[in-house]
Amino acid sequence: MSDFTIGLLAGLAAVLVIAAIVKWRTRNRPMSIAEKAEDLSKRRARMLPPLVVIYFSQQASYLSWGAHPDYRNVTMVKISAWLVLSAVLLAAIATKGFWLQPREVRNLIDDELTRSNRADAMRVGFIFAMLTCIAVYALTMVEVVNGRDAVHIVLSIGLGAALIRWGWLERRAHRDA
């Protein structure tokens, strides 16, 4: 098995462990569907800022490698972890999220305001990704940028901007409610 596959599987295992812990912690709370949806919506609003910090701290690790990283096993695991986290965060923004919750709860969490906030966050993320593409293109006129680095930069800035915007809008919505 390649290093990339091992890193990918390790990232997926970490996500599953976190989901199991969250599910285990909330197993004995008697709540109605509406109360559970409200609780999860508030939890999402509280968790988005720390997720952005974690996501961007991984970028600091990636950027600290320098111009020519040696692609050893540990490097491939770090890249794979970033890729898994990026895919999970993108899926969380693009879908209703809370995949382990019943459909009724997910439908209540995904109200009109949340859909509007998500659409606005995706719009901001897209704009930042396109501006980053323009910046990377301009950078290639004076510096060589390989494809992997360009994809990493564009995805990180676009997804990071979308997460920041969505977190800000969700927190503002819960504060105003």
pLDDT mean over 153-172: 93
pLDDT mean over 134-145: 93
- In terms of C-beta density within 10 A (0-12 exposed, 13-18 middle, 19 or more buried), how is residue 171 classed? middle
Average pLDDT of the chain to the nearest whole number? 83
Which of 6-15, 93-102, 135-144 is the most confident on average? 135-144
Tokens standing for residue 134:
């323009």
d(CA 72, CA 86): 21
- Give the confidence band of 64 by pLDDT, cuts at 50, 70, 90: low
The answer to whether 125 touches 162, Cβ cutoff 8 Å, is yes
DSSP-derived secondary structure letter, 169 = H
- In terms of C-beta density within 10 A (0-12 exposed, 13-18 middle, 19 or more buried), how is residue 173 classed? middle
Closest by CA position to 87, among listed 166, 8, 143, 16? 8
pLDDT mean over 151-173: 92
Longest CA span, the chain: 61
Tokens standing for residue 60:
């600091």
| Structure confidence by residue, pLDDT tens digits, 6-28 | 766 777 788 788 778 777 776 66
Cα-Cα-Cα-Cα dihedral sign, residues 138, 143, 145, 150: negative
Residue type, 97: G
pTM over 0.95: no
Q: How many CB atoms lie within 10 A of CB 153?
A: 20
